[in-house]
Amino acid sequence: MKRRPRHAAAKAQPKATPARPCTPTHPHSRKRLWVFGVSSALLSPLLLFLLVEMVLRLVGFGHPTSFLLPARIKDQEVFIQNDRFGWRFFGPDLARQPSPLIIPKLKAPNVIRVFVFGESAAYGDPQPEFVTPFCRSLAIAPGITGTSGCCTWATTKS
């Protein structure tokens, strides 16, 4: 067999270096890889749920979960009750609606507002004998005046 003549272009190329095993110059430790794996496993679903939550809020899906909702009644800024507040705990079929409530957004000076959540217990449901001691315990301090029964109390500083 005859050898082929080498071309001038082939002679000008440098010789290839022998192949070395592919080892990284800075190998990652097992601890670092483990931390990356755990953090990515925890953060990926969190970021996904955060993205879904933001999209749902932007399109107006769902209902507010706070007890008091801002509203405007007769050109006055007020807070009103959220009739769907109990849905997050009991669902729409079992949840009770809160009593109607209107609270001015801006409170008078030198007034402290105390809100008692769990109005059914404050009104004595299911044990009516509980309501009287409860109301008395709120009215013990001097200078306290109550409004709206035992559920919402406005107190004045003395």
Residues 116 and 94 both lie in one domain: no
- Number of folded domains that form the chain: 2
Distance (Å, rounded) from C-alpha 114 to C-alpha 103?
Answer: 12
Q: Which residues constitute the domain of residue 90?
A: 64-106
Together in a domain, 73 and 88: yes
Residue 59 lies in a domain: no
pLDDT digits (tens, 9 = 90+) for 6-29: 665 555 566 666 666 666 666 678
Tokens of 23: 């080892």
In angstroms, the CA 101 to CA 96 distance is 14
| Tokens coding 128 | 């009516």
Q: Which one, of 132, 76, 125, lies nearest residue 102 by Cα?
A: 76
* Cα 66 from chain centroid (whole Å): 11
- pLDDT tens for each residue of 64-81: 888 899 999 999 999 999
What string of pLDDT tens digits covers the 158 residues of the chain?
666 666 655 555 666 666 666 666 666 788 888 899 999 999 999 999 999 999 998 998 888 888 899 999 999 999 999 999 888 888 889 888 887 888 899 988 887 777 767 666 666 666 666 555 666 666 655 555 554 444 333 443 43
